[in-house]
Amino acid sequence: MDFFIQLLSDPIGFWNSHTLLISQIGINGVVATSMFLVLYSGQLSLAAPGFMAIGAYTSVLMELHWHTPVVLNVAVAVILAGIVGLLVGLPVLRLRGVFLAIATIGFIEALHLGVILNVPITGEGLGLQHEADPLGGVPIILVSLVAVVFVVWRLTKGRLGSAWSAIRQDEIAALSQGIHVARYKMIAFIASALIASYAGALEAHLNFFVDPGDSQYGVTRAVQVLTFAVLGGSGFVIGPVVGALIVTLLPYIFEGAGDYINIIAGIFLIAVIIFRPQGIVGRGGLAIVRPAWWPRSRVSAPSPG
Amino acid sequence: MDQQILNAIFIGSIYALFAVGYTLVFGILDILNLAHSAVFMLGAALTYSLVVTHGQPFWIGAVLGVAASALIGLVIEHVCLRPLRRRQAPPIAALISTIGLALVIVAAVEQGKSGSLFSWLWVDGANSVAFPPGTVPNPTWHIGDLTLEASKVLIIPISIALMLILGYVMRFTQVGRGLRAVAENPRAARLMGLDVDRMISLTLVISSALGGLAGILFGLALGDISPYIGRDNVEVRGLAVIVLGGMGSIPGAVIGGYLLGLIEILALVTFGSNARGGVAFAALFLMLVLRPQGLFGTRLRERI
């Protein structure tokens, strides 16, 4: 509770004492937006942590070995992720639904276990350490978040967005209307890869350390990012950002739970998704579930015939 | 090398037993039950606590462990799946609610220390423990270069017998026909007078009991029981197994389990222990790209 009291009573002190938390929320928001893009175009892709790893390792390795300026490092990292996104997307985007999800899990795990933990240049299990933070901390992250959300919001309002929406609702109908389904899906997939890799590069610079753990670039992270998007609501661009905010803050919201925080967090997750399957940000009210023993309300409908 | 192939068959049996439950739920509901790996862990953890902390004989611990897993199956259905089905929510919502339940189960075991709320369930916190030697009689034979331990060898007939029984039930009994009808078309099944909700509860109970049993066998044979065995060992590998065999196909899950065990051991022998996981996932990726319906799948169902 102290956390929220400080937020309201002493915002400046709050900002100064929680910079790491605020930037983590910002980065999670950017990743969640990348997840939003693929979900909005009807693709259940969990590849984001893989592209984050590409962004993080490329930018940090360039800095460590070639001492190039940080802007160039991040740009190269993002472009590289786009190329990898194209190469992965070509075979994988023929799959749909759960199959796409599992294929992308295969991709991130093969990258994580096969490449990152096995190639000496990535520091293997030890990760990479690097010196100062060339970005200057929180402001750049929040500015990035706003910029990314704005660009994605504009995209969903335009021609691309209409095509993605049509594909999400009914792929065959979209195809019959002359929408080039494969092309638009690929655009969404690559755009999401670019954003995820940007977030990965930011995160690596924020933490002074590239951590090769499963909670960073493995399935655990993928599931977490999916939770941001679904919990927040994937119908509006702001939904996943709200989801990221709430999930990242859960340990503070349920501060009183102490050691049992994960139990409370899990129950909270189930409760939100049962009462609002469309997510926190979305149309409609609470879904009140009628238990089996509750009497059915009588509906007076004209009998047919 | 021979010993390694034998190990591949042991671990493959456990993968298969775990994945059969996974694929059963997917085949009937088109939903990935991500709490399945937590049930796997809970079966092992509860049996360990009953045997070591509460001093019960192993067979009572195992029976209660499987029963508790089956009960969790009912919880999954009533808490995570049925309310969403009533609301006709997209299947992706069920993915998140089962993740939530998995989080609760793992956190409850993780916090089980002496003096905490869950000390009756588990007392070793996040540590990894093993059954004390002599929990089950474990004679060991040496044949040529091979070492055969009874606890590992027995896994193979137990798994195969269970999977044959399940296959028989699914194919030749009235209950199995009902389950397959629900898988084919729930609406039509309801019109034919089947209680669809009850069939789905039954599916979850069978699936979770198998998952819990796989966990118990895993803990017994590999001597590694911790709150994280589900997440680290079978969560994603189970996905790989059902994809290799074909989503929703029970014989596919069995063959896929042994195939993944073999691929992993071959990778281990050829490239060293680090490559083990990576190679398995590369195989999964290739399978999905080249033959998405898997070895035994006949068609692709796309609903999410």
Predicted confidence (pLDDT) per residue in A127-178, tens digit? 777 766 666 678 888 899 999 999 999 999 989 999 999 998 888 888 888 8
Domains of chain B by residue range = 15-230
Q: Please report the pLDDT score of residue A304 as a whole number.
A: 44
Q: Do B281 and A103 touch (CB under 8 A)?
A: no
Residue A305 within any structural domain of the chain: no
Give the residue with greater pLDDT, A288 vs B83: B83
Q: Do A118 and B274 touch (CB under 8 A)?
A: yes
Lowest mean pLDDT among A71-75, B133-137, B174-178: B133-137
Question: What is residue A129's three-state secondary structure?
Answer: strand
- Residues whose CB falls within 8 Å of the CB of residue A258, separated by 6 or more in sequence, listed in order: none
If you measure CA to CA, which chain B residue comes closest to A94? B289
For residue A72, is pLDDT > 70?
Answer: yes
Counted domains in chain A: 1
Q: Which residues of B touch A92 (CB under 8 A)?
A: 288-289
**B5 min Cα distance to partner chain A (Å):** 22
Which B positions 76-115 lie with beta carbon below 8 A of chain A? 79-80, 83-84, 86-87, 89-93, 95-97, 99-104, 106-108, 110-111
For residue A38, is pLDDT > 60?
Answer: yes
Q: Please report the pLDDT score of residue A303 as a whole number.
A: 44
Summarised one tens digit per residue, pLDDT across range A174-204 is 888 888 999 999 999 999 999 999 999 888 8
Q: Please report the pLDDT score of residue B302 as a whole number.
A: 45
Give the residue with greater pLDDT, B247 vs B47: B47
For residue A215, is pLDDT > 90?
Answer: no
Q: What is the average per-residue pLDDT within B138-155?
A: 79
Give the up-direction half-sphere exposure of residue A7: CA atoms within 13 A in the CB hemisphere: 11
Residue appearing with tokens 């069978």: B206
Q: What is the 3-state secondary structure (H, E, C) of B5-39?
A: HHHHHHHHHHHHHHHHHHHHHHHHHCCCCCCHHHH
Residue A242 within any structural domain of the chain: yes
Tell me the two tokens of residue A268: 């909270």
Q: Please report the pLDDT score of residue A299 as a whole number.
A: 44
Work out the mean pLDDT of chain B and round it to a whole number: 85
Torsion, Cα of B24, B26, B27, B29 (10° steps): 110
Summarised one tens digit per residue, pLDDT across range B93-143 is 888 899 999 999 998 998 888 777 888 888 887 888 888 887 777 778 887
Tell me the two tokens of residue B206: 């069978």
What are the Cα distances from residue A38, in Å, to A24, A155, A232, A244? 22, 13, 15, 16
Residue A48: pLDDT band with limits 50, 70, 90: very high
Residue B153: pLDDT band with limits 50, 70, 90: confident
Give the residue with greater pLDDT, B87 vs A108: A108
Q: Do B236 and A97 touch (CB under 8 A)?
A: no
Torsion, Cα of B128, B64, B248, A107 (10° steps): -10
What are the Cα distances from residue B257, in Å, to A264, A271, A278? 34, 34, 35
- State which residues form the domain around A91: 2-275
- Percent of chain A surpassing pLDDT 70: 89
Beta carbons of A200 and A225 less than 8 angstroms apart: no
> For B92, which of A44, A107, A270 is closest by C-beta distance?
A44
DSSP label at residue A284 = S
Report DSSP letters for B38-106, one per residue: HHHHHHHHHHHIIIIIS---HHHHHHHHHHHHHHHHHHIIIIIIHHHHHTT--HHHHHHHHHHHHHHHH
Summarised one tens digit per residue, pLDDT across range B240-260 is 888 888 877 888 888 889 988
Q: What is the average per-residue pLDDT within B262-290?
A: 79
Q: Do B99 and A223 touch (CB under 8 A)?
A: yes
**B88 min Cα distance to partner chain A (Å):** 9
Torsion, Cα of B138, B140, B146, B151 (10° steps): -10
Q: Which residues of A touch B99 (CB under 8 A)?
A: 223, 227, 269
Rounded (10°) angle between helices A19-40 and A48-66: 130
Hey, is the C-beta of B292 within 8 angstroms of any chain A C-beta? yes
* Helices and strands (H and E) in chain A: how many: 14, 2
Torsion, Cα of B71, B64, B12, B131 (10° steps): 140
Tell me the two tokens of residue A35: 């997840």
- Percent of chain B surpassing pLDDT 70: 96
For residue A300, is pLDDT > 60?
Answer: no
For residue B299, is pLDDT > 80?
Answer: no
Tell me the two tokens of residue A218: 């493995």
Torsion over CA: B140, B143, B147, B149 (sign): negative
DSSP label at residue B124 = B
Q: What is the CATH number of the domain that holds A126?
A: 1.10.3470
Summarised one tens digit per residue, pLDDT across range B3-38 is 788 888 888 999 999 999 988 998 888 888 989 999
> For A269, which of B32, B83, B96 is closest by C-beta distance?
B96
Q: What is the average per-residue pLDDT within A254-279?
A: 84
How far apart CA A146 and CA A168 sit, in angstroms, is 25
If you measure CA to CA, which chain B residue comes closest to A116? B278
Phi, then psi, of B216 in degrees rounded to 5: -60, -45
Give the residue with greater pLDDT, B88 vs B67: B67
Phi, then psi, of B31 in degrees rounded to 5: -125, 135
For residue B297, is pLDDT > 70?
Answer: no
Q: Do B96 and A266 touch (CB under 8 A)?
A: no
Tell me the two tokens of residue A273: 């998704």
How far apart CA B170 and CA B158 sit, in angstroms, is 18
Summarised one tens digit per residue, pLDDT across range A4-25 is 777 777 777 777 777 888 888 9
How far apart CA B89 and CA B231 sit, in angstroms, is 26
Q: Do B278 and A94 touch (CB under 8 A)?
A: no
Residue B72: pLDDT band with limits 50, 70, 90: very high
Give me the residues paired with residue B142 across strands: B147
For residue A302, is pLDDT > 50?
Answer: no
For residue A297, is pLDDT > 60?
Answer: no
Report DSSP letters for B245-264, one per residue: H-TT-HHHHHHHHHHHHHHH
Which B positions 25-44 lie with beta carbon below 8 A of chain A? 26, 30, 32, 34
Residue appearing with tokens 């990898």: A84
Residue A304 within any structural domain of the chain: no
The β-bridge relationship of strands B146-149 and A209-210 is unpaired
Residue A301: pLDDT band with limits 50, 70, 90: very low
Beta carbons of A197 and A30 less than 8 angstroms apart: no
How far apart CA B150 and CA A81 sit, in angstroms, is 50
Beta carbons of A40 and A188 less than 8 angstroms apart: yes
Residue A288: pLDDT band with limits 50, 70, 90: low
Work out the mean pLDDT of chain A and round it to a whole number: 83
